[in-house]
Amino acid sequence: MVTPLYELLKEAKYPEDKEPIGIYIHVPFCKNRCNYCDFVSSLYKEENGNKYLHTVKKEIEWHFKKQEFAERFRNAQVDTLYFGGGTPSILKSNFFQEIIDLCRSSFRFLPEAEITIEINPESARLSELLEFKKMGFNRASLGVQSFDEEELKRMNRAHSREEAIRAASIIREAGFKNFSIDLITGYPGQTKESIIGSLEKLISLKPEHTSVYRLELKHGSHLEYQIERGEVPPIDEEKIEEFYKIVYEMLTQNGYKRYEMSSFTKPGFACQHNLKFWKDRIFLGFGAGAQGMTGSIRYANIADVASYSDSVEYGQPPYVSYKKVTPQMRFKIALIMGSYLVEGVDLVSLSNRYHVDALAFVKNSVRNLIEEGLIEITPDSIFHITDSGRSDLNRIFCKWS
């Protein structure tokens, strides 16, 4: 007889969460709006940057006034700090200095902590990059998306191909030994030649890491509107698959290893911050639209900058959602997020972490998908999503949600 799934997870316990935590700071400003974007971001004005600095600092201080948070996180070890956006590099360097100082005085930073800033080519300046290095940033992530001039225009990116190449070169000149470039595949109108051209340029710039995202049509984006009006062709999933094979081949032939669905790295440069999400670790998020997981609570901040700032100013919780996560829910999240990793999920470790039989849970819940070849479990209990499973993730994850 098959044991019901809820029985298998009934006795689950929270993991001890002894590992260092990650901190994410969201910067919700950009120079303009890319056509495909639905991220939390609005157009930048200098006075908004200063006000936002004050608000984010106040939010961090607000958290520490809560006894439970202060007891749990004061002196928590931190091994990653990530400024994402939006376009963080659009802000003046004092924003980062003040936030880093506050974080360093509130938490316990490990000496080898990975400190990342996302940079967009149009706002990359050597003087600022040198400042960032001095402040302790040791990783830069450059949002390029394409090295094809026409594609950049169709995306409504704020930079040209030449600016992207120049940005990569000044990142190196400023002394960053760990930098990443983001690309997008499957943008309407993208051709085999243009994706090959972008990859060739990327490879020639020798970033240690790259994330190549498959385009997803976001509800409310300008691209959705353009497609609905027939101004641009719809997204072609078959082409995305075809292009992704090219991406995989070109990057792996040039010394990159895929370690997550969209992420490739030279040896030793996997993004430690993003691994927090995939490896079931604790991360705190501050700023408009930022998300966090404290271990038993998952929260998301209000995305609208004005409403977020009002809440913080009035000492109100800045959340748009705040949910208790039971050990059973966390176990399932750990399984889903771990599935994105090429190394898969070690079901023995997961069992020990949650005090449940993870192997029995997976086998009972997705038996038919194993038979269909979407999922495999190795003899040493490593759970993997197969290549065919990767294009049918929703069918797999709905079993656990």
Can you tell me the distance from the alpha carbon of 246 to that of 250, in angstroms, rounded to the nearest whole number? Answer: 6
Q: Angle, to 10 degrees, between the axis of helix 347-354 and the axis of helix 327-338?
A: 160
DSSP assignment letter at 366: S
9 versus 25: smaller Cβ distance to ligand SF4: 25
Can you tell me the distance from the alpha carbon of 73 to that of 265, in angstroms, rounded to the nearest whole number? Answer: 31
**120 is an interface residue for ligand SF4 by CB under 6 A:** yes
**212 is an interface residue for ligand SF4 by CB under 6 A:** no
Can you tell me the distance from the alpha carbon of 394 to that of 243, in angstroms, rounded to the nearest whole number? Answer: 21
87 versus 339: smaller Cβ distance to ligand SF4: 87
**123 is an interface residue for ligand SF4 by CB under 6 A:** no
Q: What angle do CA 47, 51, 52 make, to 5 degrees?
A: 115
Site for ligand SF4 in 41-60 (CB under 6 A): 41
Contact predicate 181/199, CB 8 Å: no
Can you tell me the distance from the alpha carbon of 57 to that of 159, in angstroms, rounded to the nearest whole number? Answer: 31
Determine the interface stretch with ligand SF4 among 26-34, 216-224, 297-305, 371-379 (rule: CB under 6 A): 26-34
**344 is an interface residue for ligand SF4 by CB under 6 A:** no
Q: What angle do CA 91, 34, 48 make, to 5 degrees?
A: 30
**89 is an interface residue for ligand SF4 by CB under 6 A:** no
- The single residue among 85, 88, 289, 344 that binds ligand SF4, judged by CB under 6 A, is 85
**86 is an interface residue for ligand SF4 by CB under 6 A:** yes
State the minimum distance, in angstroms, from the CB of residue 325 to ligand SF4.
Answer: 27
**396 is an interface residue for ligand SF4 by CB under 6 A:** no
85 versus 186: smaller Cβ distance to ligand SF4: 85
State the minimum distance, in angstroms, from the CB of residue 42 to ligand SF4.
Answer: 9
- The single residue among 55, 87, 116, 123 that binds ligand SF4, judged by CB under 6 A, is 87
State the minimum distance, in angstroms, from the CB of residue 308 to ligand SF4.
Answer: 16
Q: How far apart are the first and last CA of the chain?
A: 23
Contact predicate 198/183, CB 8 Å: yes
Sign of torsion, CA 215 216 221 222? positive
- The single residue among 39, 73, 95, 244 that binds ligand SF4, judged by CB under 6 A, is 39
Q: Which residues of this protein are in contact with ligand SF4, per CB under 6 A?
A: 30, 33-34, 37, 39, 41, 85-87, 120, 143
